[in-house]
Structure 1
Amino acid sequence: MFQDGKAEEAMNFYTSLIKDSEIKSIVRYGANEAGDEGTVMQAVFSLKGQEFMCIDSNVKHQFSFTPSFSIYVTCDTEEEMTSLYQQLIVGGQALMPIGDYGFSKKFGWLTDRFGVSWQLNLPL
């Protein structure tokens, strides 16, 4: 649930970064509907084949995304992992910089500029 009409921007950003990803459907609010006209009522996008649903909330909440929910991406190469981390961290925050934490070859955890938490993993 994105606030301030950021769902479509986030989907476009994510699908541009991750191969085998696409926006599958978008239903927008129309005039005189419950949300701001043109914002996302419901959308589905996929990242590496995993589907996600998102919406734009026109209701202001006292909460946003938290690290208790993360999009977990298993990367195929170090280059993919480094590139994703560097692009996602812009305007965001590192929770665990890319490193060897003993449970994988490389791992990184961050929140992006939208507040969404990402865990990037390069398996052993």
Structure 2
Amino acid sequence: MVNFKGHSTQIITPFIWYESGAEDAADLYTRLFAGSHITHISHYSDAGREAHGQQAGKVMVAGFELAGQRFSGLNGGPAFKPNPSISFFVEFNTVAEVDALWAGLSDGGSVLMPLDSYPWSQRYGWLNDRYGVSWQIAVTEMAANGQTITPSLMFTGDNLGRGSEAIELYTGIFPDSATGMVLYREPTEGEETGTVQFGQIKLCGQSFNIMDAPGHHDFSFTEGVSLMVLCETQAEIDHYWKALTADGGQESQCGWLKDKFGVSWQITPTVMEGLIASADPAKADRVMNTMLTMKKMDIAAMEAASQG
């Protein structure tokens, strides 16, 4: 039994992979969402350059908070790109708010579903912004917990029909979790009967949407958008790592993994940011070099590297 400590902050952070525009994207988003701000900027050093391939001094991660929810953006090069398999559903009370955000995000982007009236919303649209990040924007009744932006996972292709399985898996792994409204397709709808048309869950008290998407889609889950889970203890890291790599999941490097659906997660100790951001460059480089040798994060080894 893992003893999950009472976290007072957001536990699961959407983590977006940009080729080189993380800081510009953070600036755009924080200008478009009221009351938002950039939380931190970190830079690459020479440590681990053979692995990350980036110039020392370049922005590595831009952290930002939008409508009370934290995000992180990585300048990771061209290896991965965001796509609509994980989008961000934004709920507003008024048409004017929807239109204003749409105008800002659609500039240089592409429209997936035009801004219009739909059975589920008087004003709704779906787009990819200029960086390829996917947004659904709608007038709705605000979520009970006031979460304006909800990560939405769409199961396509070989994953079609696995939405219910994902709901069961995720709510069974994370504490403070629950299943909310789940709508299944009926035989009269002419699509895959019994698949999840729209589902709502909470993980660690945070809202997420789940949906199966029939039809042809040329995208599925990638590292382009991952979900970073902050852990205070090694026991938490071990729990999430084992549970999310089970039954066909895949281990990767530096705390990254894919679950059995292909969704990317980062299982990250809360101490890591402070260790890597140390004012002593030698300490920070030792931690970075040690981390690059790991698959699952080892807090003790990282702290030992910091101390030399």
- TM bin, normalised by shorter chain, reads 0.7 to 0.9
Shift of 1:72: 1.7
Shift of 1:105: 2.3
2:38 corresponds to? 23
Q: Which amino acid is 2:55 matched to?
A: D
Q: Are residue 7 (structure 1) and residue 22 (structure 2) matched? A: yes
Q: In 2, Cα distance between the equivalents of 1:93 and 1:82?
A: 15
Greater relative CO (CA pairs within 8 A, separation 6+): 1
From the two aligned structures, give the one with the greater strand fraction.
1
Shift of 1:26: 1.1
Q: In 1, Cα distance between the equivalents of 2:33 and 2:93?
A: 11
From the two aligned structures, give the one with the greater helix fraction.
2
Give 5+ residue unaligned stretches, structure 1: none
Larger radius of gyration: 2
Shift of 1:76: 3.0
TM-score by structure 1 length?
Answer: 0.87
Q: Are residue 37 (structure 1) and residue 56 (structure 2) matched? A: yes
Q: Are residue 95 (structure 1) and residue 112 (structure 2) matched? A: yes
Shift of 1:98: 1.2
Q: How big is each residue's C-alpha offset from its partner over 1:44-102, in whole Å with a ceiling of 9 and x where there is no partner?
A: 211101111111104x31x4111111122112321111111112111111111111211
Alignment of 1:44-63 (within 5 A): 44-58=63-77, 60-61=78-79, 63=80
Percent identity (aligned): 38
Shift of 1:38: 3.1
Q: In 2, Cα distance between the equivalents of 1:38 and 1:78?
A: 42
Equivalent residue of 1:86, what SS? Answer: helix
Give the length in aligned residue pairs.
120
Q: Which one of 112, 129, 135 corresponds to residue 118 of structure 1?
A: 135
Contact 2:37/2:64, CA 8 A, preserved across alignment: yes
TM-score by structure 2 length?
Answer: 0.37
Q: Which amino acid is 1:37 matched to?
A: A
Q: In 1, Cα distance between the equivalents of 2:59 and 2:91?
A: 28
Question: Following superposition, which runs of at least 4 residues in structure 1 exceed 3 angstroms of deviation?
Answer: none
Contact 2:22/2:61, CA 8 A, preserved across alignment: no
